[in-house]
Chains A and B, each alone.
Chain A
């Protein structure tokens, strides 16, 4: 079973990386979404997937049953999902803002900093 998990995680991450390498900013954002989803799954698998009962203490008992799933990675992933969402939302806002300011959705079109010239050239003119 773990090989299937490994395959799914690896494919998702590989696709995420491929998208991350794109010059289209939206593709980059989609790559981030895929990567964070795969990472969450990775943490989930790392916590061990032997038991499949929810980690809830059954009424009438006082401690978690032996057949319950590992609660710790679930807690970590829960916040990671929400944070990942906030991150992607911010990135999307940035994409929109950049497009409106620069007029391009390709990173090769975002050349405002390069247009200022090399910092070394600026220094040379100052010293001269």
Chain B
């Protein structure tokens, strides 16, 4: 099966999840997990092809007129992501089935439908070759994560976090879109493969700086990099299975994915790598501090995710083969242990109803297997041998040391990794083994569905650590090669000998152990630093949001003040100004003295009659008199049509005018007679001035218009072919029913809808009691 069908399969899974849940009940999780699992297997088959360094491209024409193709691309890097997305997706589906066991079945169905839709979007993003298609999927991940974060829509916090994540990631997506459009404008293609091949052309273009900044902003918002780091920790308002998915494998790594993809394109742009290193390091530091400060089980994990993303962004900023291997290795190891830890946290919180690390303790008695899984995953997170986390950390340090950066990033990396060790220790030991008096009972024990995910992932971490070569050759090597741009011979090894990296690892573990021991003191101290929190939190976001709301409030008060007259004035004044500008600056000169035909006295009189009728309408004291004046204008218009060779128009105008008078009379009979002015004298004066300006501009425009020659090609064509092709002598009628029949069809539809609406509006209204006044 070709790989692009996996996206369609995932979508089909999302579509059937909700109805299936009604039939499957508590087994929904197990059955629906088959969908991502089958996709995982089908993608797994491509491992051999891709490991040979091949890139598979699939094409489907979508919007050829815009140059947008449904093109998909499978290389080592996207295959790694696709496998992580579907593999962890399988476990998340399984886990969610067990997690929601106490909820109604339809709720499981709704959640799984969203998860699978989310997976579809993720798969689409990493597999797309066309940048526009990728953007569509990218925004779809923002939308589905919005729905996942806000899944418990009855909670205000969930709604708030969901909107925050949507505003940040959706807004970032639009910025990214701008970048993509500029690339398309410059290179004339949206195909990533072609952009990659012609990257030197792009780098040479004057737009390159803008493109780099736009794409970086898009990636930073998605991957929660400074200054957009605040939304991700709030996003844990989502149910835990969704958090595990959002935080580990997928959504937040998309930004990293994008940066890594464009790394090969932007490699020549000098500031690109440096910016990534600086932003990544800043994010790491902030997130590390926040992780120590956080109190909730999930909150600590979420902050450590932000730190990990910072590490990844920094790694992409570094050059060289080792950096590429380190990036890929860290993506893999982080996905494994972070998803496992979120699963364990979810089980612990769900079983106790308590989320604070300060209140959890001794859970190993009740959740023994979960505790073991948490410890195993933590060891990988702490980067201890023989876990995969150890290997990826060694590569991280090696990548830093082999680059010509100064010591600051290395120091940051050591500090942040030490915090990771500390966090790993705190989240695995404290809730499960310490302070056993804190929790004396749990609401439920462990079920197979709750255990499968954490156990598989945690043991995967140790298995890869023990046998790194298998995965190194088949998955990490091709992925790193795709990232680096040329084949890398990867020796993904557990033991590198006594190297500087090992020394750094020792330092990390030593500091980390100290953090675990003194966590209470550090945590309490940091919580007292309110200033720090204000600096690091999402205050900036709230400021911006409040500013936008304030501007909206102000403009609403100004423009939407409830007075219809003012709205109309604004519209008319705008028309007057626009027309005046067009007249003065437009290509056609203003010419009042135009080529005159001979004055036809009868016509002049009728035209003056229309003007007099219009003026009389304004002056009329009663509404009925006004209606009569309008009627005069209408009938005079019919005479003008008659005198200028338009009998059809004249007939129609007379009939319509008669009907209008009949209708409006019926309406006026039911309304109170007009007694006084609805406007004050000064308002009337202002309106008269505006109306005069309007009339003046129109006068000049119409007078100048008649100096411009008319293009009669269309009219001539109709005149010549009307009888020969359409067998009609009345050209007007032939235009209506034949040449422009589809137009006429639309117009009679409008007439039908308008009159049906009026029919419905007045239904039964006569039976009602009279007006309030």
Contacts and interface: CB of A to CB of B under 8 A. Distances in A.
Interface of A: 1-24, 26-27, 29-30, 33-34, 37-38, 40-42, 44-59, 62-64, 68-72, 74-75, 77-79, 81-90, 92-97, 99-100, 102-108, 110-111, 113-114, 118-120
B604 interface: yes
Given A1-B603, A26-B668, A33-B630, A79 B773 contact: no
Give chain B's interface secondary structure class: helix
Nearest to A2: B706
Contacts of A47: 710, 715
A52 to B, nearest CB: 4
B593 to A, nearest CB: 9
Contacts of A10: 695-696, 698-699, 702
A33 B723 CA distance: 35
A40 B667 contact: no
A74 B646 contact: yes
Given A44-B644, A78-B649, A96-B667, A89 B702 contact: no
Contacts of A18: 618, 687-688, 690-691
A93 B761 contact: yes
Given A22-B678, A100-B771, A74 B649 contact: yes
A8 B611 contact: yes
Give chain A's interface secondary structure class: helix
B639 to A, nearest CB: 12
B698 A14 contact: yes
A85 B383 CA distance: 79
Nearest to B772: A103
Q: Which of B562, B633, B660, B678 has the most CB of A within 10 A?
A: B678
A29 B664 CA distance: 10
Nearest to B641: A44
Contacts of B600: 1
A40 B729 CA distance: 24
Interface string B380-396: 00000000000000000
Contacts of A78: 648-649, 652, 732, 736
Interface in B737-773: 740, 743-744, 747, 750-751, 754-755, 757-758, 761-762, 765, 768, 770-773
Nearest to B664: A92
A93 B656 contact: no
Contacts of A44: 640-641, 644, 646, 649
A13 B645 contact: no
Interface string B575-613: 000000000000000001010111110011001101100
Contacts of A69: 644-646
B633 A34 contact: yes
A85 B660 contact: yes
Contacts of A88: 660, 664
Given A3-B592, A4-B607, A54-B645, A27 B637 contact: no
B607 A8 contact: yes
Interface residues of B, number: 107
Given A15-B691, A16-B614, A95-B671, A8 B608 contact: yes
A75 B688 contact: no
A70 B715 contact: yes
A27 B674 CA distance: 10
B58 interface: no
A46 B702 CA distance: 8
Given A72-B718, A90-B757, A11 B611 contact: yes
Interface string B651-665: 011001001100110
B730 interface: yes
Given A10-B695, A96-B667, A97-B761, A15 B618 contact: yes
Q: Which of A4, A38, A75, A93 has the most CB of B within 10 A?
A: A75
B646 A2 contact: no
A82 B656 contact: yes
Contacts of A20: 568, 572
B720 A34 contact: no
A5 B608 CA distance: 9
Contacts of B596: 1-3
A11 B644 contact: no
Given A37-B633, A63-B724, A90-B757, 9 more contacts: A4-B599, A11-B695, A15-B617, A34-B633, A55-B646, A71-B715, A81-B653, A95-B667, A100-B771
B633 to A, nearest CB: 6
Q: Which of B603, B627, B714, B754 has the most CB of A within 10 A?
A: B754
A14 B723 CA distance: 41
B703 interface: yes
A72 B630 CA distance: 26
B565 interface: yes
9 contacts: A14-B691, A21-B572, A30-B627, A42-B698, A45-B705, A57-B719, A71-B715, A79-B743, A83-B750
A72 B715 contact: yes
Interface in B665-682: 667-668, 670-672, 674, 678-679
Interface string B701-727: 011011000101011001110111000
B641 A3 contact: no
B549 interface: yes
A95 B623 CA distance: 14
A113 to B, nearest CB: 7
Nearest to B607: A8
B731 interface: yes
A103 B645 contact: no
A60 B512 CA distance: 103
Contacts of B768: 100
B150 to A, nearest CB: 16
Contacts of B548: none
A18 B652 CA distance: 27
User: Would you list the 7 A-B pairs with minimal beta carbon distance, nearest first?
Assistant: A14-B695, A64-B719, A69-B645, A23-B678, A93-B758, A10-B699, A103-B772
B553 interface: yes
B643 interface: yes
A78 B638 CA distance: 12
B758 A7 contact: no
Contacts of B592: 3
B533 interface: no
B652 to A, nearest CB: 5
B487 interface: no
A88 B600 CA distance: 32
Given A70-B715, A74-B732, A3 B626 contact: no
A44 B607 CA distance: 13
A51 B643 CA distance: 10
Contacts of B507: none
Contacts of A63: 719-720, 722-724
B692 interface: yes
B157 to A, nearest CB: 12
B615 interface: yes
B755 A86 contact: yes
Contacts of A97: 761-762, 765
A128 B193 CA distance: 52
Contacts of B572: 17, 20-21
B273 interface: no
Contacts of B670: 96, 99
B685 to A, nearest CB: 11
B647 interface: yes
A89 B634 CA distance: 15
A79 B607 contact: no
B665 to A, nearest CB: 10
A108 B563 contact: yes
A96 B765 contact: yes
A35 B495 CA distance: 86
Contact of A64 (B553, B695, B698, B731): B731
B614 A12 contact: yes
Given A8-B611, A62-B724, A13 B698 contact: yes
A47 B471 CA distance: 77
